[in-house]
Chains A and B, each alone.
Chain A
Amino acid sequence: MSRLRAFGARLFGLFRKRRGDEDLDAELRTHLQLLMEKNIRRGMTADEAQRAALQEFGGLEQIKEVYREQRGLAFFDSLTQDLRFAARMFRKKPAFTAVAVLTLAVGIGSSSAVFSVVDRILFRGLPYPDEDRLVSFGLLAPIERDEFMLGASYVDFRKEPGPFEAITSMAPGSTACDVTEQSPVRLSCVLVEQTFLPTLGIEAILGRNFTKEEDRPKGPRVALLSYALWKSRFAGDPLILRKTISLNGSPVQIIGVLPANFEMPTLDRADVLLPLTLDEEDQHRSEPGRVLRTFARMKQGMGVAQAIAGLQPFFEQALQGAPPEFRKEIHLSVRTLRDRQVEDARAASWLLMGSVLAFLLVACTNVANLLLARAASRHRELAVRAALGAPRSRLVRQVLTESLLLGLMGCVLACAVAQMLIRLFVSIAPGGIPHLEDARLDLRVFSFTLGTALVSAVFFGLAPALQCPAPNLLIGRDVRATARNFLRQALVAAQIALSLILLGGAGLLLRSLWNLENTRVGIQTESVLTETISLGQYRYPKLEQQLAFFTELEARLKRLPGVTSVAVSDSLPPSGPMRSTIFAAIEVPGRPLLNQGTGGMVGWRAVTPDYFFDLGIPIIQGRGFQEQDRLPTENTIIISERLARELFPNANPLGQQLRLFRTQGPWRKVVGIAADVKNNGLARDADPEFYLPWKNDPVESLSTAHLLVRTRINANAVASWMRAETNGLDSTLPVKIEAMSQRVSKLAARPRFNAILLSFFAGMGVLLAAIGMYGVVGFIIAQQTREIGVRMALGAMPSGILKMILSSVARWTISGAALGLLGAWASSRLLESLLFQVRAHDPILLGLALFLLLAVAFFAALIPARRAMRVDPMVALRYE
């Protein structure tokens, strides 16, 4: 207690120094005078009395010093002293300070910005309690990239959920649902089981979860609202639980509101949760039942591997019922929620984090070099302080204080840099990076920034701190100059190595991007606009109405000025959802159906005749669709070149018959062969594909369709007319109009984002390495001016001097480059999963990076080195 009190008193003492000093002076003066008076009373003269008093009292100044130390906190005292001193030093050298702080700010700021982007992907916990026990489990089949279960086996499994504490399911994806009351709006609804929220560990902040009764078919109709919807549509009404809303035309009772930070494990948008109403008997009757996304909470202390082992028996059993051609290609899969969510973003995130840290290291190295150069020019000052009795620890502390101060200044500026970069990232980043829109400079990112700044400060401050000179340096030249030069050269070599690694990586990504952007997509994207429309279930419940809408819209768009042709299709290349079937399900006369495996996927689309013209897809053989193919009685089909090769390897495909979908449906006649088109994204191989005519007669739901419009004139003008026409037909429909070229370019957006960022870091890294090189060479020459002068006086040619300097530069440049080559070779392996048609160990690219870096290093060294050639021997010798 008294200790704490003493600490408080001392802390307080820090702030009232002057006052305390005056008090002490007065007190001591009184004491001395009293002593003197006593001595005079004893019969001394005034002089004698004073001398004796001082003697009795002891060293006045020492006492004061001890007193002051006792009064304040010695540590803080000397800290403020150090800080004040450091600030003075920085003020005296504004250029040095500015360069150091800026370098740090860019390095730390970039790290923070990248951290804020990858944090949600790599580090930050998902918003569920004990999230590491949550998994997505089920089957993986060629048609699906995420786990699923089929209803019939799921309802059996949930009775005895094996290795899991709890399991739950939801309908895949979200469905559009319409609020059909005043101010109608299109919402995203998700169907979930009653166990969904409890399994995730989420509780409604208002109201309650579904009950078992509500999760049965024909149960009461109830809904949970998302927090955002509650706030935006109902203004956070606390009495919301008494309300019903009209969803797709029927009233639904609101029973709860989800927490603000709730998100679906699939990251789907969910405005409303509705009960899944899975019926056991129903699922068995319609074996194998509907497709479900299934999630589970593992038992305490259980890992993914154990869960897979525990699921295996059930899986074997469930597979008995699967179609035989599927069985071989189905796997059991259990993934943590995080793994499911981040998927391919993980590799890219680590890449960005790694590269920005390498860049930060280069930046720190540069600052370390700056500090070393300055330390060389102030070793005299430090030596004087050492000679006057400053202990070595005090000097080291002084130097470290300075670097910490630099680090803190860098940190402040870095926050601004990070803020800017985050905004930049969000604006140039492609969709699909999870949580990118949440990236911001929050407390977590700020702590990261501060931590990085402090660690960096210690890192770059350590080199000069450990070189605090001993007092004997006062007498002569710095005998350790060579050692210091060695350290500085090693730092530059490290910079070169790191830059080369960055440059090598950037080269690979850029090359891969180039390949990707120059992939033959197989369609002409210029002057084609796409309009995507999704019709709501409520306003367009009947197939006739859907068909009529698209027919009418097609006709209206055709009448627009500047429009060459209009086509309708249910999906669009080269990416995005498209209908598909398995190769084994296509029947050709005279060929038995495949029974081993699926034979891979075959994609297909329903299109109107102008589709091929609009996208410039050549019909290689036969003809395209005609209006009469759209009649219900016609059964024609167009197949892609590749599908033709696979179905009819030895015959002319034209005029052949085939039957789709495992012999359901009519025999169809092949009327044309279309050129292959990318349909699986840019990087993956295209699936074989066929086209069916978009019929005049409704046979299936057409709620979502794309209109393709080829224009002769400015696409922007046409786009606004298209929007107006659509609104004229139905003003409540959300309309999405995009240029085809933009759609395609978006596919490369993520690789482009990665490549841009890595190139930026590599570029900055090289720039900093060049600055570092320039600084070190200039410094060494300044140190050797005298030696150069002597050599020149003795007849050395300027070119010889240049050669001498450059060859010494070459030595450590090459050792740095060699290290960098090794590093680049090793680290490019990590990039492999992000590359497209580039080998990770591309010697040409690496050679180019090396050449570029060496060229930059050479010129950075040459500029100051040429100065050495112009050294005047007389001036150099007179120096000192």
Chain B
Amino acid sequence: MTPPRGEVLQGTLDLIVLKTLDALGPLHGYGIAQRIQQVSEDLLKLNQGTLYPALLRLEQRGWISSKWGTSDNNRKAKYYSLTRSGRKQLATEAESWERMAGVIARLLGAEGA
């Protein structure tokens, strides 16, 4: 049996997108979606469409920027890339995420003991 696929936590998607762009450089929406599924090994249930409002939100906050370009197979696509303030945001969010994850891990570990 495959493990149950988890919903993407609100706010987590932002971090994931930022990290993806940080790792792979400019990408279009499809590329980001593929990357997320590949990395999460299909453990995350993601309606790929929901990516777009998230991308818009990040762009409105100035963390990513977008530009029209052509994809590998010559299609018109919008490419998103990380801005400087996005990089900063990624750092703070990653840090707070790790702290949070650490707390939860300790919590769960203590319970298990």
Given contacts A31-B29, A56-B48, contact A70 B57 (CB under 8 A): yes
Q: How large is the interface on A (under 10, 10 to 19, 20 to 34, 35 or more residues)?
A: 20 to 34
For window 41-55 of chain B, which residues contact chain A by CB distance below 8 Å? 47-50, 52-53
A56 to B47, CA, bound (A): 6
Q: With a CB–CB cut-off of 8 A, which chain A residues contact B94?
A: none
In the complex, what residue of chain A is closest to B89 when comparing beta carbons?
A2
* A31 → chain B closest CB, angstroms: 5
* B105 → chain A closest CB, angstroms: 30
Contact with A along B12-31 (1 / 0, CB 8 A): 00000000000000001110
Q: With a CB–CB cut-off of 8 A, which chain B residues contact A6?
A: 57, 60-62
- The segment out of A20-28, A119-127, A333-341, A347-355 that lies at the interface is A20-28
A285 to B61, CA, bound (A): 85
- 8 A-B pairs within 8 Å (CB atoms) are namely A9-B59, A31-B48, A34-B71, A35-B30, A63-B47, A66-B50, A70-B56, A70-B60
Are the CB atoms of A9 and B47 closer together than 8 Å? no
Q: With a CB–CB cut-off of 8 A, which chain B residues contact A58?
A: 47-50
Q: With a CB–CB cut-off of 8 A, which chain B residues contact A9?
A: 59-60
Given contacts A27-B29, A63-B49, contact A2 B57 (CB under 8 A): no
Are the CB atoms of B56 and A71 closer together than 8 Å? yes
Contact among A5, A27, A63 with B50 in the assembled complex (CB-CB below 8 Å):
A63
A10 within 8 A of B: yes
Given contacts A2-B85, A63-B53, contact A30 B63 (CB under 8 A): no
Q: Which residues of B come within 8 Å of A, CB atoms?
A: 28-30, 33, 47-50, 52-53, 56-57, 59-63, 71, 73, 75-78, 85, 89
Q: With a CB–CB cut-off of 8 A, which chain A residues contact B61?
A: 2-3, 5-6
Given contacts A2-B63, A5-B62, A70-B56, contact A33 B49 (CB under 8 A): no
A781 to B89, CA, bound (A): 68
* Residue of B50, B52, B59 with highest tally of chain A CB at under 10 A: B52
A27 to B71, CA, bound (A): 12
Given contacts A58-B48, A60-B49, A63-B49, contact A34 B30 (CB under 8 A): yes
Are the CB atoms of B33 and A66 closer together than 8 Å? no
* B103 → chain A closest CB, angstroms: 26
Contact among A3, A30, A57, A66 with B48 in the assembled complex (CB-CB below 8 Å):
A57
Q: With a CB–CB cut-off of 8 A, which chain A residues contact B29?
A: 27, 30-31
A2 to B62, CA, bound (A): 7
Q: With a CB–CB cut-off of 8 A, which chain B residues contact A27?
A: 28-29, 52, 77-78
Contact with B along A55-70 (1 / 0, CB 8 A): 0111110110011001
Are the CB atoms of B52 and A30 closer together than 8 Å? no
* A870 → chain B closest CB, angstroms: 62
Q: With a CB–CB cut-off of 8 A, which chain B residues contact A63?
A: 47, 49-50, 52-53
* A38 → chain B closest CB, angstroms: 8
Contact among A3, A34, A57, A70 with B49 in the assembled complex (CB-CB below 8 Å):
A57
Report, nearest first, the 6 A-B pairs whose CB atoms are least far apart.
A58-B47, A63-B49, A58-B49, A9-B60, A2-B61, A6-B60
Q: With a CB–CB cut-off of 8 A, which chain B residues contact A24?
A: 52
- Seed contacts A24-B52, A27-B52, A67-B52; 4 additional CB < 8 Å A-B pairs: A34-B75, A59-B47, A59-B49, A71-B56
